Amino acid sequence: MSKKRGKFFQKILRANFGFKSYYNSELVNLNLKKWEDNMAKDAIVAENLTYRYGDLTAVDHISFAVKEGEILGFLGPNGAGKTTTVKVLTGQFLPMEGRALILGKDISKDREEIQAEIGVCFEEKNLYERMSAVENLRFFAQLFGIRKFDPYPLLKKVGLEKREKDRVESYSKGMKQRLMVARFLVNSPRVLFLDEPTDGLDPVSAETIRKVILEEREKGVTVFLTTHEMMEADKLSDRVAFINEGKIAAIDTPENLKHKFGRRALKVRVREKGKVVEKELPLDEKKVAKDIINLFANEDIVTVHTAEATLEEIFIKITGRRLE
């Protein structure tokens, strides 16, 4: 390491870890290595991951990685293989080919160790209906061996603090799902696997859950989120994977996907023979300026707005099928 670079790292180390160190000391090098190792590690790695139900290959040799603190949106229609992927990643099903590493450990080998550090949410609700929200959370805290557990901050986070003593059986679907969210946060997981967590919920519950997901990401938690809603994937994900027939058709940031595959367009509504019709002018073509001038000179314009491609349009373009 050059002297200059060493000084620079010392400064960063002091700023980040608050300890004094000396240039070229063992301590600097050791901590520097730790610091470099900690930078943007992969929290989830899937290599050639495959799962079959009889003859049907539901997860078909998929490979991807999710960095610590990243939200990966796993977007695909019903039957695409989302739930099966989550089950293989979280150790409920053993992979038939390939492997999954969670926090650097192989899920086929270190399942229990991994499960203590992750939070999982499936469609089936494993809550005790006859118990209250507080009792449910206390019970799960006990399972995790957490001694001093205060359920109230979690209940507040998901907006259930006023109904916390009512039996879960009296809750709406959205309230139960919010309690599920509080439940999977009990062990302060470092990685979350959420299988369509907002599917079919009322808007307030869905928004509460989305907010919690973003708050967890802010804390550095990694999130694997399946959805068939393009808006949700677009809004929450750092990167989106398109899944179709068990395969990943594309994986990138929403912006890059739109940039690579989408077209921007000007949507113009004009009045023609007493009727309002919508016209689209592609913005990425060379003659666009001429078209726009023509339009404004010759048409009776009602409204104009620009439209970027949606993830659903791009999904259709790449896979040939819709998300619904």
225 vs 281, beta carbon nearer ligand ADP: 225
Of residues 61 through 100, those in contact with Mg ion by CB under 5 A are 82-83
82 vs 239, beta carbon nearer Mg ion: 82
CA distance 155 to 175: 11
Of residues 237 through 276, those in contact with ligand ADP by CB under 6 A are none
Backbone angles phi, psi at 120, to 5 degrees: -130, 140
DSSP secondary structure of 117-174: TEEEE-SS----TTSBHHHHHHHHHHHTT-SS---HHHHHHTT-TTSTTSBGGGS-HH
Angle at 237 between CA 189 and CA 181, to 5 degrees: 35
DSSP letter (8 states) at residue 99 = E
Smallest gap from residue 82 Cβ to ligand ADP (A):
3
- Residues belonging to the chain: 324
Smallest gap from residue 275 Cβ to Mg ion (A):
43
31 vs 84, beta carbon nearer ligand ADP: 84
Residue 56's binding partner, choosing from ligand ADP, Mg ion, none, with beta-carbon cut-off 5 to 8 A by kind?
Answer: ligand ADP
Question: What is the pairing mode between strands 265-272 and 71-75?
Answer: unpaired
* Interacting span for ligand ADP (CB under 6 A) from 51-59, 128-136, 138-146, 167-175: 51-59
Total residues at interface with ligand ADP (CB under 6 A): 11
Q: Are 193 and 120 in contact (CB under 8 A)?
A: yes
* Interacting span for ligand ADP (CB under 6 A) from 52-60, 158-166, 186-194, 202-210: 52-60
Q: How far out from the chain centre does Cα 298 lie? A: 47
DSSP secondary structure of 247-309: EEEEEE-HHHHHHHH---EEEEEEEETTEEEEEEEETTSTTHHHHHHHHHHHSEEEEEEEEPP
Counting contacts by CB under 5 A, is residue 198 touching Mg ion?
no
21 vs 83, beta carbon nearer ligand ADP: 83
The answer for residues whose C-beta is within 8 angstroms of residue 156's C-beta and 6 or more apart is none
Smallest gap from residue 242 Cβ to ligand ADP (A):
12
Binding mask 57-96 for ligand ADP (x = CB under 6 A): -x-----------------x-xxxxxxx------------
Residue 174's binding partner, choosing from Mg ion, ligand ADP, none, with beta-carbon cut-off 5 to 8 A by kind?
Answer: none
Smallest gap from residue 84 Cβ to ligand ADP (A):
3
Identify the helix (H) or strand (E) that includes residue 220. Answer: none
Residue 84's binding partner, choosing from ligand ADP, Mg ion, none, with beta-carbon cut-off 5 to 8 A by kind?
Answer: ligand ADP
247 vs 264, beta carbon nearer ligand ADP: 247
DSSP letter (8 states) at residue 198 = T
DSSP letter (8 states) at residue 310 = P
81 vs 119, beta carbon nearer ligand ADP: 81
Smallest gap from residue 104 Cβ to ligand ADP (A):
26
Smallest gap from residue 250 Cβ to ligand ADP (A):
16
CA distance 312 to 323: 7
Question: What is the pairing mode between strands 118-121 and 275-282?
Answer: unpaired
83 vs 90, beta carbon nearer Mg ion: 83
Residues within the interface to ligand ADP (CB under 6 A): 53, 56, 58, 76, 78-84
Residues within the interface to Mg ion (CB under 5 A): 82-83
